[in-house]
Amino acid sequence: MADRTRILITGAASGTGAASGRLLASPDTTIMLHTRRNRGGVESLAAELRLKGAQTAFALGDLADPGTPDRLVAETVGRLSGLDVLISNAGFADRTAISSLSDAAMHASVEAIQGAFFRLARAATPHLCAGQNPRVVAVSSFVAHRFRPDIAVFPASAAAKAGLEALVRALAIELAPSGVTVNAVVPGFIRKDAGAHRAIDPGVLAQQTARIPLGRIGSPADVAAAVAFLRRQQQNTLLGKSCTWMADWSSDGGHAGSNRATGRQFVDDGTRPGYDANGRRGHEAFSATIQPGSGRFFDRRNSRLNSFD
């Protein structure tokens, strides 16, 4: 097991978490799959990943409970003999208006998303620092960035996801000297699994889908491709970034810029200062266009078409 990449994925029984597991599973990985209570879903996924050669384990627990993240990391390290990659994906959407939002509901969103990431990262840090090509990838959401009358607003979820992204940036600086990269993926509207809870009315979703040049919303597999990109061993200089993925809207009601209007998926525009693996400040000079469903990206640093592999 020491020669395998050891991965913990939270919220892995369905959606983006399950899709990430499917994409990352190989004979070179051992994966701990977490779910709050969907034992059947996570057991089914574990069996599917074993067919791909991965070794698997699974654990249940409510990450909003302050004791669960520490227990989950300890169990993961015990079962996998260490930890190399943390994928913090678990969470839920709450579109309750602020005027109707109770203290308990606000607390639940913050604890399940921001608090869970904080406690998972804190518990995982010493193990990641001792790991092989260590990575932390958090899954955020466009709801922390887009506020318009014609798009559903999620006050509690937005606050929790924004807090998560702030923690990602702070942790990226803290862990960079140890060689651990920390980043977030920020998806747009993503298709739900059949039977899953939908926080957005189908009619509203159809209206938003009509505004997307590709003519479709994103899929869990699309987001998993972003997670896999940030997890790559070769990707060791991108730090503290919130990478927009699928369907990014501008504040004036249109799609943001001609490139985004093509419906392509963008990782980063390369214009913001970042930090290298040694914690030194500087421009990362990274810019890539992701080709949906192709497994490839065009790196504009060197005008080359590269593979995620």
Domains of the chain, earliest start first = 5-263 (3.40.50.720)
How would you list the strands of the sheet with 296-299, edge to edge? Answer: 265-266, 288-291, 296-299, 304-307
Please provide the DSSP assignment of 156-171 as one string: HHHHHHHHHHHHHHHH
Predicted pLDDT of residue 275: 38
Residue 190 is predicted with a pLDDT of: 75
pLDDT digits (tens), the chain, 309 positions: 558 999 999 999 999 999 999 999 999 999 999 999 999 999 999 999 999 999 999 999 999 999 999 999 999 999 999 999 999 998 998 999 999 999 999 999 999 999 999 999 999 999 999 999 999 999 999 888 878 787 778 999 999 999 999 999 999 999 999 999 999 998 877 777 665 555 566 676 677 677 767 777 778 888 899 899 888 755 555 556 565 544 444 333 333 222 222 223 333 333 333 434 344 443 333 333 344 344 444 444 444 555 544
Stated pTM of the model: 0.76
Separation of alpha carbons 283 and 294, rounded Å: 28
**Alpha-carbon separation of residue 240 from 37, 170, 185, 192, 256 (angstroms):** 31, 7, 11, 27, 22
CA atoms within 13 A on the CB side of 114: 18
| C-beta of residue 163 within 8 angstroms of C-beta of residue 106 | no
Name the CA radius of gyration of the chain, rounded. Answer: 18
Any idea what DSSP says for residue 4?
S
> With the CA atoms of 26, 32, 36 and 42 taken in that order, what torsion angle do they form, in degrees rounded to the nearest 10?
40
- Predicted pLDDT of residue 109: 96
What pLDDT, on a 0 to 100 scale, did the predictor assign at position 150? 73
Confirm if 74 and 82 have CB atoms less than 8 A apart: no
For residue 191 the two structure tokens come to 């298709």
